[in-house]
Amino acid sequence: MRSILWSLLAGSLLVGGVGCEQKKSDEPKGNESKEAAHEHASTGPHQGDLIELGNEEYHGEFVHDEKTEDVTIYILDSNAKNAVPIEVEEVIINLKHDGKPEQHKLAAAPLEGEEKGKSSRFVAKGNHDLSHAIEEKDADARLQVTIAGKSFTGKIEHSHDHADHDHDHDHEKK
């Protein structure tokens, strides 16, 4: 009987211990729910859209400058707050729109102070095709990156909220 009780207790501890761990300082305050306390912001430190990589092991941050047509990806930690310099020369955005697949490579552009051969920032400067295709409503874009020898793919959920931009999405001449 005692061994059954110990087995049940051990099993409940294992089940209760699996999943999201929170520190006591992260517990919700006031009316905030536990789920809301665990969630991170939907935008990154550069005001870009966040991309989950793995089981939130890392995050990518997608930043699109409509005026220069630059597209930048930042590699961030699990909290989507701090830069994570990685040892790759490029990251890839696989994009499908209008039923056609495209692949865009973003070159490493290390931030000041990052160790030689590592970068947390990747840029495609003045990439007209990517810049406009990513804005299309039917665009399906995914970031592909290798971090510490492990391949990650994350869906780019680019917000199309341009309330503070004067941008016309009808790019075809009439």
Confirm whether 13 is domain-assigned. Answer: no
For residue 148, give its domain range. Answer: 37-154
In contact, 78 and 97? CB cutoff 8 Å: no
Taking every pair of Cα atoms in the chain, the longest distance, rounded to a whole number of angstroms, is: 81
Confirm whether 103 is domain-assigned. Answer: yes
The whole-number pLDDT of residue 169 equals: 39
Confirm whether 77 is domain-assigned. Answer: yes
CA distance 61 to 145: 12
The whole-number pLDDT of residue 87 equals: 97
- State the total domains in the chain: 1
Confirm whether 23 is domain-assigned. Answer: no
The whole-number pLDDT of residue 39 equals: 53
160 pLDDT tier (thresholds 50, 70, 90): low
More confident residue, 88 or 133: 88
- Enter the pTM of the model: 0.70
CA distance 111 to 126: 19
